[in-house]
Structures are given as C-alpha cells and as structure tokens.
Amino acid sequence: MKILLHACCANCLIYPHETLEKEGHEVFGLWYNPNIHPFTEYMRRLDAVRQYEKKTGLRIIYRDEYDLVRFLRGVAFRESERCRFCYHMRLETAALTARHGDFDGFTSTLLFSKHQEHDLIRGIGESVGRRHGVDFLYEDFREGWEHGRARSQELGLYRQQYCGCVYSEMERYRGR
C-alpha cells in the first residue's frame, strides 16, 4: 500500500517509518503541525525532520504552514479539549492530502507516543478517513518506543521535551 505517514516530529517518525516499510508499504511522510509553539521550537522540529529525510531518503510532503492563530482560536475557552482539536486538525489535513495524492491510506506518528490518547487518535483518524474516502491505518507503534529513542540519539536528531503546544510546554515545565 502507498501510505502517507503524518509526522509530528523526527523522533516519533523513526519507528513507524521503519515498521511500515518492513511491512512492505511504500511510505511518504507529511509535515503539518501548526500547533507547535513557540516558532523557534517549530523550526527546530522542522529542521530535524529535514535531517531525517536526508539521512534516510524518506520522501516528505511539507505543509509548512505555521498557523498558530488557527490552533489558538480552535482551543480558546476549550483548553480541556485541545488535544481533540489538535488531532483532528492534523489528521484531517493528512486525510485530504492522502486523498488528493492518490494514497491508499494514511496514519500518524502520534500513535508512537506513550503520552498521546490512542483511542481518540484512532477514532478521529477513522472518522476523517471515512469522510474523505481514504483508509486510516491504525497501528500501535508504542512497542518501538525504546528503539525509536535510541535510533534518534544515534542519528543526532533534536529531541524535544514536550508535545508541542503552549499548554503542553507549560505542563511540562510547571509540572502537571
């Protein structure tokens, strides 16, 4: 299958990319993460994905749209639902990109992290996939957590300390 793999960051990209290729899929990456704050952090993560692309040859589609205003407007006064909005925004873009790019399916590196809400990601992915006529490929990539972390260090990739948005940054450094 020709799969579009939404990449939230280079670290989380490694294991899902390797796994999907081992399964025989033709994999393309997608960078679309307007939630990441501040802009300097966004650029560090984008640069790390570009480094990974150069080191591995993975072809990546860049939707380099730093639309922080859209993200903040979508979560304002609904902060407790911010992850739902964020997942939906990114997975919907992945589904549309997959449909227009003639992909057989799409998935996300969000499914690699032990810190994300897998059931919510899966539900949103399947819903937007149905709506746009492209399959959401659910796979629990968390088993590769240690491998991905070690490989990231081997490759010398930037390793971020929080999920991405201003709220997750605050929680990380303030202590949840």
106 by DSSP, 3-state: which?
A: strand
Residue 8, annotated as binding a ligand: yes
Any known ligand binding at 9? yes
> Nearest 5°: phi and psi at 68?
-60, -35
DSSP character for 131? H
CB atoms inside a 10 Å sphere around CB 101: 14
Q: Quick check: helix, strand or coil at residue 40? A: helix
User: Any binding-site annotation on 163?
Assistant: no
- What single-letter DSSP state applies at residue 119? H
CA distance 126 to 144: 23
- Of how many residues is the chain composed? 176
Q: For residue 114, give both structure tokens.
A: 């032990």
Contact 134, 105 (CB under 8 A): yes
- β-pairing, 135-136 vs 105-108, is parallel
* 83 annotated as belonging to a binding site for a ligand: yes
Match 């299958």 to its residue by tokens: 1
Summarize the annotated binding site as residue ranges: 8-9, 83, 86
Summarize the annotated binding site for [4Fe-4S] cluster as residue ranges: 8-9, 83, 86
